[in-house]
Amino acid sequence: MKIKYSLILKITLAAIFFIAAFVFCCYFGIEKYSEKYIYSDIKKLPKKDFAIVLGTNKKLKDGRINPFYKNRIDAAVDLYRNAKVKYLIVSGANPSIYYNEPEDMKKDLMAAGIPENHIQADYAGRRTLDSLLRAEKIFDISDYLIISQKFHNQRAIFLARFNGHQAIAFNARDTVLKKRSKKVRIREIGARCKAVLDIVFHKKAKIYGEKITFPDNKNKLEKQAENKLKNNLKNNLEIDNKENHQKAERPNFVIKEN
């Protein structure tokens, strides 16, 4: 009986150690991996045509404005005004007519002076992973800037980069609400573990749909297609010229030796 309990204890301790090691590696591995792709200084931030503003609830339970939300909106406005981004995708949850993160963000960005045709709402960004995968599948964008708080950006960069996207991130100001901040960071531990599992198991977004193309991105795609056509015509012309040149060098008669 003692041997049986000893074996169970060893297995339990081994499982606890494995889980703790996995959590530690996930949390700090993501932090280390993402650091070279994240910016806090707007002056050092490279310009991007597109930015994804990751959503969160606008108001707290007591009715006050969520500082995480406000700081993301403020960061997006600053980046747009400083010509660091041209277009903004506001991506978040949209479970009911009473709770709509993308619509809230779009309205607040427009109120800050950003033109409506420079803002695209993504109403199916239920999770961070969904927001990033839909950027490529729905909006044909894989080179973009992510706007959120640092702890969130670290996980988002990990997910984006491991899905082949050329993403960087800008840190919005963090919140000073200690209780709220602590709760979010505890939840982040589990979210990072899930992010690693999502990559390992090639998790996809829950919802896709028809493609939506931004003006600049549409022009870029059309230009790429035009350049491809020109290159094909140029290559065909070079092949024809080469063949004609070879024909000109070949004699069209044969001299028979006596």
Domains of the chain, by residue range, sit at 12-200, 213-248
Q: What is the mean pLDDT of residues 215-220?
A: 56
Per-residue pLDDT at 8 = 84
Output the CATH code of domain 12-200: 3.40.50.620
pLDDT digits (tens, 9 = 90+) for 181-201: 678 888 999 999 999 999 999
Report helix angle 178-200 to 2-34, nearest 10.
100
Cβ neighbour number for residue 36 with a 10 Å cutoff:
9
Per-residue pLDDT at 253 = 42
Which H/E stretch holds residue 53? strand 50-54
Position 138 confidence tier, pLDDT thresholds 50, 70, 90: very high
Average pLDDT, the chain: 86
Tokens 């339970």: give the residue: 61
Q: What is the mean pLDDT of residues 92-101?
A: 89
**Tokens (6 digits) for 148:** 């959120």
Per-residue pLDDT at 255 = 42
Position 120 confidence tier, pLDDT thresholds 50, 70, 90: very high
